[in-house]
Amino acid sequence: MIRVVINGKACTAEKGESLLSVARRKGIDIPAFCYEETLAPYGACRMCLVEVVKGAQEGITTACTLAAAEGLEVLTQTSEIVSLRRALIELYLAQAPRSEAIRALAQRYGIQKTRFARKVRPDDPLQNRCILCGLCVRICHDVMGAGAINYIGRGHFTEINTPFYEESAVCMGCGACARVCPTQAIAFEDIVQTRTMKSWSGTRVPLHACSKCGRHFAPAPFVNYARQKLAPDLQQTPLRLCPDCRSREIARKAVLLSTGAAVAD
Amino acid sequence: MGLATCGIAAGADRVYAALESAIRKQEHNIQLRRVGCIGYCREEPLVNIHLPGKPLVILHRVTEADTGRILHAAATGDVPRDLALCRINAWDPIVGDKLVFGTGFEDIPAYETTPYFAPQQKIVLRSAGLINPEDIDEYFAVGGYTALHKAITEMSPADVVHEVIISGLRGRGGAGFPTGLKWNFTKEEQSLRKYIICNADEGDPGAYMNRNEMESDPHMILEGMLIGAYAIGAREGVIYVRAEYPLAIERLTAAISQAQRHGLLGENIFGTDFSFSVTIAGGAGAFVCGEETALIASIEGQTGRPRPRPPFPAQKGLWGMPTNINNVETWSNIPVIIHRGGKWFSGIGVPENSGTKVFSLVGEVECVGLAEVPLGTSIRTLVFDIGNGGLRGKAIKAVQTGGPSGGCIPASLFDTPLDYAHLTEVGSIMGSGGVVVMGTETSMVDTARFFIGFTDEESCGKCVPCREGLKHMLMILDKILAGRASVADIEILEELSGLIRKTSLCGLGQTAPNPVLTTLRYFRNEYEALVERSRSS
């Protein structure tokens, strides 16, 4: 363990750990949109700017990509950082005018409205909320191993979607993209036995039915994917059931066991 | 016949075909050879004519109609005087023995007294326009691969790095990081595999130094890379060339296969343990792929987007292995440094800025072309002595150096020396060596708008200040140019410039506002006049 100093407060950290993670553990608030602990630091949203006052890279840098090192000292709320962050928030307000997360952050920073021209597309599959932080692209590729979506185009023309805006054959419908999205831009909908990824070119994924009650409860390709990850002797039973039936089943077995009755599967 | 892309664009291929067929038909005892480009674009197509015992004479602005009388004169031991640009009695290719052509033709101006060439010092372009880039034997004739031989048979890798360190050579791609130190980072890394990369993704508007270096002397780059690979301990190298340079790719590909045939690439080079191979990777038209981490991503087949450094490529580069990346022109200097010694090289130029730099002098300047001068040469010498001032005698307002990441320097500062520190001081950068000359009629606001338009289009879109900030800068510049802006818009433009410079992820964004910042610094009145106009209307 090593010692770093954030805003004058001493914190312990693992050597090489992301400074953003150290700060958050200590309850020091640094905003960030493109950071997710399961993924490698990306440095795209630029919200987690901090000033290194003592360390190898002195000056302003992003906390997510800053590796903790012995004696590192940073400041997270200098007047310069706050004003840079405010300007970045204004850019986000213009880019993703429908995002409530951005508006909430703007409010915390005392920003009433952006000075920049707002971009609103009526047919935006990402509901004018996407800030191109890339978390969805990275979680889909790096963690889920699917790679169903990616960047299209370059610069401010960049969009995120499936290749050629066609239904994806590799999307498992797991929804990890929607879960990590910091601005709730990604929409999907379950209707009876089909999940439709509305943001991803209408990709349809069949839902798996519970073997007991028959309710469609999870995307079938994802159920298969998850089953493969389990040890061979666990691959059969638990995932056939929806969470409700599974709870009932576990409760039933527990009660029977306590009464000393024989338990059948 | 000078047959680089620039010459071909001026019609050199047609002149070459006419010369070839005339020589065949008339059974002249004349050998016709292709050469690269000597750098005087304004005067192309260029034909070098060498008669035994006579100086090499450079003929300029040659057309197909001239071929008959050129051959006729040559057959009688003469050259057409009206086409003669200058003569070269002898030439120092720096690495090899002096080439002595001959004497005579005293009435033709000597190369050394020709205003365009006189202030130049050719180190990188030491053989450009004089040898056939498609023939390894001609490269051997100018001392080619002797520096490599010296490095791997007489020097240790540490000696080679040391020599490059004392030469003071700094990276020619733009940032100017000391090359020897950079090599040492990769050399010190412990790894079973290491890579070296030649960055040939030249993309600045109006800059084409690297293209000419590759098209005119490709073996020089391979030799530099071989020496670097030996020093660093790499067995594999990649040349990343933009796809817009098909002729450079063709000549590099030919050079690689010739070097392989001669055992200069492959296993056990010169019978030593040293083995090295080179492949070519083609770019796909993204300016940002000149940034080293984006370039590596592109070679790996990923989207060309930069990633934060550290880790630097020296620690974690191509395929996660330690990788050293240098620009074409940096590699081109290496054989000279090894042959003549780092100390010799450090004596050229000015302290902290040793060696020469090739500049592409373009825009509203009389003598357009590639000029190689010692670092520390003033902008005035480049623009007025070599470039002969404004186009058709017009006054010059400013130059823009360093491509879209550079700044506009007003004529009042033309005594600024072209070196890394002084260019930074006036708000610009050395960059890769583009110099765009602008006349008094050029609107500086429009110029700034052009460059912001370029970087906006080439931004990869990863980080928000560059992606969104440049978009809004462009919108504000359009508003100013349309006469619809207020003073507040200029202030927002300044604020955005600062934001993008301070908070962007990579060098593209960090330098992109420079054209706006420098035009605001030196030509603020032009912005204010446009704003005034909108207020009065």
Is residue A68 located within the same domain as residue A178?
no
Chain A 197-236, CB below 8 Å of chain B: which residues? none
Rg of chain B (C-alpha set): 24
The minimum CA-CA distance between A50 and chain B, rounded to whole Å, is: 10
With bands split at pLDDT 50, 70 and 90, how would you rate the model's confidence at A211?
A: confident
DSSP labels, B415-429? TSBSSHHHHHHTT--
Cβ pair A154:B458 closer than 8 A: yes
Q: How many domains are there within chain A?
A: 2
Indicate which of A18, A35, A46 best probes the interface with B, i.e. most B CBs within 10 Å of its own CB.
A46
What residues make up the domain containing A213? 133-265
As a whole number of angstroms, the distance between CA B459 and CA A222 comes to: 36
Helix (H, G, I), strand (E, B) or coil at A136: helix
- Measured CA to CA, the distance from residue B489 to residue B476 in angstroms comes to 7
- Contact: A155, B475; criterion CB under 8 Å: no
**Is residue A125 situated within a structural domain?**
no
Do both A138 and A265 map to the same domain? yes
CB contact under 8 A, A158 and B286: no
DSSP for A205-232, please give it.
EEEEEPTTT--EEEEHHHHHHHHHHS-G
Q: State residue A100's pLDDT score.
A: 96
- Gap from B404 CA to chain A (nearest CA, Å): 16
May I ask the CATH class of domain B136-345?
Answer: alpha beta
Let me know if residue A27 belongs to a domain: yes
Is residue A41 in a domain? yes
- Residues of B with a Cβ under 8 Å from any A Cβ are 286, 303, 305, 307-308, 310, 456-465, 467-472, 475, 492, 495-496, 499, 502-505
If you ran DSSP here, which 8-state letter would residue B310 be given? S
Closest CB to B465 among A88, A131, A155: A88
Mutate to test the interface with A, among B291, B477, B499 (most CBs of A within 10 A): B499
CA dihedral in degrees (B161, B167, B168, B170; nearest 10)? -70
**With contacts defined as CB-CB under 8 Å, which chain B residues touch A46?**
463-465, 503-505
pLDDT of residue A249: 87
Backbone dihedral region of B202: left (phi > 0), alpha (psi from -120 to 50 degrees) or beta? beta
Q: Is residue A180 part of a domain?
A: yes
pLDDT of residue B174: 84
Nearest by CB to residue A44, choosing from B462, B470, B471, is: B462
- The interface predicted TM-score of the complex, written ipTM, equals 0.91
Q: What does CATH list as the number for B444-536?
A: 1.20.1440.230
Same domain? For A150 and A219 the reply is yes
B285: tokens are 């038209």
A117 part of a folded domain:
no
Q: Residue B355 has which token pair?
A: 């060696």
Q: pLDDT per residue over B323-361, tens digit each?
A: 999 999 999 999 999 999 999 999 999 999 999 999 999
Do residue A43 and residue B463 have CB atoms under 8 angstroms apart? yes
What whole-number percentage of chain A has pLDDT above 70?
96
- Asked which of A43, A58, A77 is the last residue of a domain, the reply is A77
CATH number of the domain where residue A73 is located: 3.10.20.740
Whether the CB-CB separation of B254 and B138 falls below 8 Å is answered with no
Residue A87, domain member (yes or no)? no
* Domains B5-111 and B444-536 equal at CATH topology level: no
Rounded Cα distance between B269 and B275, Å, is: 6
Give domain B350-439's CATH number out of 2.60.40.10, 3.10.20.600, 3.10.129.10, 3.20.20.70: 3.10.20.600
- At B444-503, the pLDDT tens digits run 999 999 999 999 999 999 999 999 999 999 999 999 999 999 999 999 999 999 999 999
Boundary-marking domain end, from A77, A100, A115: A77
Domain end position, chosen among A12, A46, A77: A77
Distance from CA of B181 to the nearest CA of A (A): 17
Q: Which CATH architecture has domain B5-111?
A: 3-Layer(aba) Sandwich (3.40)
Return the SS3 of A81.
Answer: helix
Diameter of chain A by CA atoms? 72
Residues of B in contact with A160 (CB under 8 A): none
Q: What are B34's two structure tokens?
A: 């292709």
Reduce the DSSP state of residue A193 to 3 states and report it: coil
Which A residues in the span 84-103 are in contact with B, Cβ-Cβ below 8 Å? Answer: 84, 87-88, 91-92, 94-95
Is the Cβ pair B502, A60 closer than 8 Å?
yes
At A240 the pLDDT is 78
Cis-peptide, bond into residue B311, ω within 30° of zero: yes
- Domain residue limits, chain B: 5-111, 136-345, 350-439, 444-536
Phi, then psi, of A49 in degrees rounded to 5: -55, 135
Q: Report the alpha-carbon distance of residue B387 to residue B400 in Å, rounded.
A: 15
Relative to beta strand B195-200, strand B323-327 is parallel
Averaged pLDDT, A63-76: 95
Instruction: Mark whether A261 and A145 lie in a shared domain.
Output: yes
Contacts of A45 in chain B (CB under 8 A): 463-464
Do residues B203 and B401 touch, judged by C-beta distance below 8 A?
Answer: no
Give a yes or no: residue A119 inside a domain: no
Claim to verify: residue A45 and residue A152 sit in the same structural domain: no
Residue by residue, pLDDT tens for chain B (537 residues) are: 999 999 999 999 999 999 999 999 887 789 999 999 999 999 999 999 999 999 999 999 999 999 999 999 999 999 999 999 999 999 999 998 999 999 999 999 999 999 999 999 999 999 999 999 999 999 999 999 999 999 999 999 999 999 999 999 999 988 899 999 999 999 999 999 999 999 999 999 889 999 999 999 999 999 999 999 999 999 999 999 999 999 999 999 999 999 999 999 999 999 999 999 999 999 988 999 999 999 999 999 988 999 988 899 999 999 999 999 999 999 999 999 999 999 999 999 999 999 999 999 999 999 999 999 999 999 999 999 999 999 999 999 999 999 898 999 999 999 999 999 999 999 999 988 999 999 999 999 999 999 999 999 999 999 999 999 999 999 999 999 999 999 999 999 999 999 999 999 999 999 999 999 999 999 999 999 999 877 776
Q: Flag whether residue A4 sits within 8 Å of chain B, measured between CB atoms.
A: no
The partner residues of B396 in beta bridges, in order of sequence, read B439
Print the SS3 string covering B149-176.
HHHHHHCCHHHHHHHHHHHCCECCCCCC
Same domain, A199 and A265: yes
